[in-house]
Structure 1
Amino acid sequence: MSTRSKGNRHGALDVGVVSPSSSQAKPPLESLISTHDFEAVASHTFTPKTWAFVSSAATDLHTKRRNAQAYATIGLRPRTLRDVANVDLSTTVLGHAIRAPIFGSPVAMAGLVHEQGEKEIGRAVKEAGLAQCVSTSASYPLDAIVAATRAHPTEKPHTVPFFFQLYMDKNRENSRQLLQRARSAGASAIFLTIDAPVPGKREADERIQSDESLRSGMSGASGKNDAKGGALGRIMGGYIDASMSWKDIPWVRECVPGMPIVLKGIQTCEDAIMAMRAGVEAIVVSNHGGRSLDTSPATIMVLLELHNNCPEVFQKMEVFVDGGITRGTDIFKALCLGAKAVGLGRGTLYSLNYGHHGVSRYIEILRDELETTMRMCGVTSLHQLHPEYLNTLKADPFVPKIDSASLERTAKCKL
């Protein structure tokens, strides 16, 4: 049977109607031409548990779907007859130069997909001249991931930053040690996840038993099964502290003085204002890829909410966004609404199916699509992007309009 038949609803590569447990060989990497192709291949070649863990989201998956679908409600307004022969995608993230406005969002247990896990993601990110954020729930210890990345030869050597993502542990000393290890390993910033005080209910992952020998090389959490099921996110996240609040941010600063703090999981303009008041250096507009709270807003809609209600946050902090980004046009729209860079999560795991070469190709596809979009819209530099390149009329009715009195009360709220 041919591995290249008609496309699916995304126009993605159709690898046949088989289950994830199939031993069907993966099609050649060079035959994959869109990010959707990588997901299609993963759906048929990952083990059942790996597919359930990577692809699953909270309850009815509404937020997961909306993350991607909401981008289509925002149109483009191309400008023409401009010299677009040369396009520059370079930018900075937290003061570090990167070659494109993309970074690797933290992903858990990448070793389920490829034996080298986060090491391979890091190698691809380095080759692309981007930044990687390493998860507390990574398969390997941080120093091993960093060492593998630094040891990897590239045709275009580039010193790239890496960040460390933290889930606050109920035992603060465990978090203190992780933070200090991250600092010693050379991490450039701490991404504190705030949108998952408890794990979301990911039913597809619960339905398939966990391998109880599985263990995170970073947090030390291990897989097991119980009466609720076998969801890795729930079981391995049992150490996360649901009592964490705004008052804990100074404690994080005390652990790693001088390091930038990024809050990952902002979903309202009120919390963006609170983050600004707390003095953090950046925020990530994120809903955990729809994996935490179902029916929470799509991230591009939150970005639009910030732009409409509290545009000052973009001057006070760097703003990043992740969730549902599968096209260069998605990246373009997020940047036009004020995002400094976008994060890739599930996509890196789907592409890790092919090792670091797969992740490299995935990134290059998005880079090429972003560059094409910029040329089509008449811009040659990220500094030129602004909301006038977008038509948000279809999206605007669904964006909350927060009155100034409410925002003022938020600005005065005790942290």
Structure 2
Amino acid sequence: MTIPPTETTTTGTTPHHLPSQIQKPPLHTLLSTHDFAHAASLTFPPKTHAFVTSAATGLVTHRSNSATYSLITLRPRILRDVSRVSIRTSILGSPVSSPIFAAATSLGITVHPEGEKEIGRACKRLGVGMTVSTSASFSVAEIAAAVREAGVEGNDEEGGGEIPLWFQLYVDKDRTKSEQLLTQACEAGGVKAVFLTVDAPVPGKREADERISASEAVGLLSGTGGVVVPMTGEKAENDKFGGGLGRITGKFLDASVNWEDIAWLRRCLPRESGVKIVLKGVQTAADAVRAMEAGVEGIVVSNHGGRSLDTATPTILVLLELQRCCPQVFERMEVLIDGGVMRGTDVFKALCLGASGVGIGRGILYGLGYGEEGVRRYVEILNDELETTMKMCGITSLDQVHPGLLNTRAVDHLVPETVEEEHPYAKWRPSMRKKVT
């Protein structure tokens, strides 16, 4: 059978009609993360595929997030005893079996009926961390319960223990709703950290998602044909701009959130709970320093997977910027990263540049197309590639990673040299122009 070519978000569109005879490739035949992405392009419902894969406007940042990793090369060391390696580590004070964690993703139920609950079960059995989004398909309490109830299969020694759950907060214009969500997340969900989303004050323009009616979304159809996000109660229906789920269900976002709101967030958390605050979406050294000075426990270097502001800097370059301009932040708080990670070598490079954890977003949803087993296989493929990379580079544990194992010269010219916001030579200011009246 010849499968006709389908358009994907690489051209800004998405398949509208999938041949009914296409069968999902057997899970055991998927050998790389790219295989999962291809399987999703063939088998996801059109609206689901558009929502999961779409990115902002021209997709420049979406592509460069991944492509920039290939410009950084490895410098292997030889004749080391690498017969045994370990990728166990800790993130935000919690022990995990791998530095890879499930980044926050929205509306998982459009991919699988059990949505984020299946992701949680997979993370439990893998022994890795999971971030739950405000836009998840189930409450934090429901997801936490699924995690607690998940057993351990066979002689799996890697997973099975308690895993860290983190809550990704989108601040609501009605702050009381956010305060209620935080209480539920901390008390019923037992989350150990709150990831305050700072890279999406408003939803980005994702054209592939806009092109398909919101009523075609699978899994969250209400009686009136709209899509409802359970945790926020927001309903997505087409408007004059199209049917973008991210934009329509993000109408509740509070664009006024600013640095002073970190104190508000701290007050919302249970006293003496030990719940950490992490800023998700730091994209410059200047903001990393300000986050450090604000006393947060961590940051996620992220541009929302290229879904918010197109032509924003690839995240691995931001990590290099932090190393060059403000290396002290790595000592004062935890630095995580997400965006564009497709190979174990990508994970390794991020770790060598100071990241203590690497988030996977879209890929987790690709795996979710096969349920819990698919999520597990997706992460296990990356884990295996990471272990292979470590052995090839002559190290046996993650406390041995360092920047000297990388050659970054191909991208060094793209990395700012100071933490200042000034352009190196352009000094123009709006005041030089005639004022608009």
Q: TM-score range, shorter-chain basis? A: over 0.9
In the alignment, the residues of structure 1 paired with residue 350 and residue 151 of structure 2 have an alpha-carbon distance, to the nearest angstrom, of 32
In the alignment, the residues of structure 1 paired with residue 415 and residue 42 of structure 2 have an alpha-carbon distance, to the nearest angstrom, of 37
Query: CA deviation digits over 1:78-127, x for unaligned, max 9?
Result: 00000001101011111100001011000000000000000011111111
Aligned to 2:182: 179
Structure 1 vs Structure 2 CA RMSD: 1.6
Do 1:22 and 1:45's aligned partners in 2 also have CA atoms closer than 8 Å? no
Aligned to 2:206: 202
In the alignment, the residues of structure 2 paired with residue 19 and residue 358 of structure 1 have an alpha-carbon distance, to the nearest angstrom, of 24
Aligned to 2:63: 65
Aligned to 2:305: 289
Give, in angstroms, the shift of residue 403 of structure 1. Answer: 5.9
Give, in angstroms, the shift of residue 22 of structure 1. Answer: 2.9
Do 2:326 and 2:419's aligned partners in 1 also have CA atoms closer than 8 Å? no
TM (normalized to structure 2)? Answer: 0.88
Alpha carbons of 1:234 and 1:403: their partners in 2 closer, same or farther (altered >3 Å)?
closer
> Which one of the candidate residues 191, 194, 205 is aligned to 2:195?
191
In the alignment, the residues of structure 2 paired with residue 307 and residue 387 of structure 1 have an alpha-carbon distance, to the nearest angstrom, of 9
> Which one of the candidate residues 133, 147, 150 is aligned to 1:149?
147
What is the count of residue pairs matched by the alignment? Answer: 394
Aligned to 1:245: 258
Q: Give the SS at the match of 1:398.
A: coil
Q: Give the SS at the match of 1:348.
A: helix
TM (normalized to structure 1)? Answer: 0.93
> Which one of the candidate residues 380, 383, 401 is aligned to 2:417?
401
> Which one of the candidate residues 318, 332, 336 is aligned to 2:352?
336
Alpha carbons of 1:29 and 1:250: their partners in 2 closer, same or farther (altered >3 Å)?
same
Aligned to 1:410: none
Gaps of 5+ in 1: 4-16, 408-415
Give, in angstroms, the shift of residue 222 of structure 1. Answer: 1.4
Q: Give the SS at the match of 2:90.
A: strand
The residue identity in structure 1 corresponding to 2:324 is: N
Aligned to 2:341: 325
Aligned to 1:11: none
Q: Which stretch of structure 1 is more off in the superposition, 255-264 or 133-142? A: 255-264
Alpha carbons of 1:76 and 1:227: their partners in 2 closer, same or farther (altered >3 Å)?
same
> Which one of the candidate residues 138, 144, 163 is aligned to 2:166?
163
Aligned to 1:228: 241
The residue identity in structure 2 corresponding to 1:344 is: I
Query: CA deviation digits over 1:289-317, x for unaligned, max 9?
Result: 00000000000000011011110000001
Give, in angstroms, the shift of residue 21 of structure 1. Answer: 2.6
The residue identity in structure 1 corresponding to 2:255 is: A
In the alignment, the residues of structure 2 paired with residue 259 and residue 373 of structure 1 have an alpha-carbon distance, to the nearest angstrom, of 34
In the alignment, the residues of structure 1 paired with residue 74 and residue 177 of structure 2 have an alpha-carbon distance, to the nearest angstrom, of 47
Alpha carbons of 1:225 and 1:18: their partners in 2 closer, same or farther (altered >3 Å)?
closer
In the alignment, the residues of structure 1 paired with residue 380 and residue 2 of structure 2 have an alpha-carbon distance, to the nearest angstrom, of 26
Q: Give the SS at the match of 1:294.
A: coil
> Which one of the candidate residues 115, 125, 138 is aligned to 2:136?
138
The answer to whether residue 393 in structure 2 is matched with residue 380 in structure 1 is no
Give, in angstroms, the shift of residue 213 of structure 1. Answer: 2.9
Do 1:58 and 1:293's aligned partners in 2 also have CA atoms closer than 8 Å? yes
Alignment of 1:69-84 (within 5 A): 69-84=67-82
The answer to whether residue 32 in structure 2 is matched with residue 34 in structure 1 is yes
Gaps of 5+ in 2: 4-13, 216-224, 424-437
Give, in angstroms, the shift of residue 2 of structure 1. Answer: 7.6
